[in-house]
Structure 1
Amino acid sequence: MARHRTHSIEFKRQIAQDYLAGETLHSLARRHDLSRNLVRIWIQKFEAGAFDDEAIAADTIEAYEARIAALERLVGRQTLEIEFLKGALSTHPEREAQLRPSSPAPRHLHRRRMPADGDRALHLLRSARG
């Protein structure tokens, strides 16, 4: 099975600098147990400025922004689901009265069970309320 290693930016930068200082591609690859093609790719990226601190920071910011956008979409989807469930509950006031006990009992005495009619939305809403 192929092994996949990850190397730090500093290591890649050092390999590229060693090559540009005059060391041969073959000796670098052999000494560090790397593919010559991988070393070539690192050299090209180094020459293009991909290993600069500003480029690394920009990539990190871009990854964070993508993650934030994904989380915002998830929050939006969950907000829509909550609003839908609230609407479903408000259209059935008799079910809402059944779900709310007339006298508040200690929380540990309430049994969790599915509603008899299988109304999944109401069950989810009740679970979400705690």
Structure 2
Amino acid sequence: MARHRSHSVAFKRQVAQEYLSGETLHGLAKRHDLSRNLVRVWVQKYEAGALDDDAAAADTIQAYEARIAALERLVGRQALELDFLKGALRSGPLPRSGPTSVIVGPAVSPSPRGAG
């Protein structure tokens, strides 16, 4: 199965410029081991200005902002859990394993052996 590759914005810009300078679509695709359709997409993006340095920086910033938002949600969730646990510690002692006290019931005299 083919592995998904990612290419830098500079490489995409270079391929698009080579195409626009007269290189054939087939020749570019074969030389760089790309599909012709992918080269077409990159040329369209290049012509639309989507492969500029500013566009690449904006994409990077958007990815960072999404990651920051995810981390902020995680920190908020952990802060709530810590507050909950601190409140539980203040409200009383932690349960211990095993019985904490002996319950004394009514005194029952053992029946004599052999009776019954």
Q: Which has the higher contact order (CA 8 A, sep 6+)?
A: 2
List structure 1 segments (4+ residues) > 4 angstroms apart after TM superposition.
none
Aligned match of 2:113 = none
Aligned match of 1:56 = 56
Cα offset, 1:62, TM superposition: 1.1
d(CA) in 2 for partners of 1:3, 1:67: 25
| Code of the aligned partner of 1:6 | S
| TM-score, normalised relative to structure 1 | 0.69
Let me know the Cα RMSD of the aligned residues: 1.6
Aligned match of 1:6 = 6
Q: Check if 1:33 corresponds to 2:14.
A: no
Cα offset, 1:5, TM superposition: 2.1
Write the deviation string for residues 19-53 of structure 1: whole angstroms up to 9, x where unpaired.
Answer: 11111111111121110011111111111111101
Q: Unmatched 5+ residue regions in structure 2?
A: 99-116
d(CA) in 2 for partners of 1:4, 1:72: 30
| Code of the aligned partner of 2:4 | H
Cα offset, 1:11, TM superposition: 1.2
d(CA) in 1 for partners of 2:21, 2:65: 37
Bigger shift: residues 39-48 or 2-11: 2-11
Percent identity between the two aligned chains: 72
Which protein has the larger Cα radius of gyration, Structure 1 or Structure 2? 2
Aligned match of 1:126 = none
| Code of the aligned partner of 2:55 | A
d(CA) in 2 for partners of 1:26, 1:82: 60
Cα offset, 1:74, TM superposition: 0.7
Q: Check if 1:83 corresponds to 2:64.
A: no
| TM-score, normalised relative to structure 2 | 0.77
Q: Unmatched 5+ residue regions in structure 1?
A: 99-114, 118-130
d(CA) in 2 for partners of 1:91, 1:4: 54
Aligned residues: 98
Write the deviation string for residues 50-76 of structure 1: whole angstroms up to 9, x where unpaired.
Answer: 110111111111111111111111111
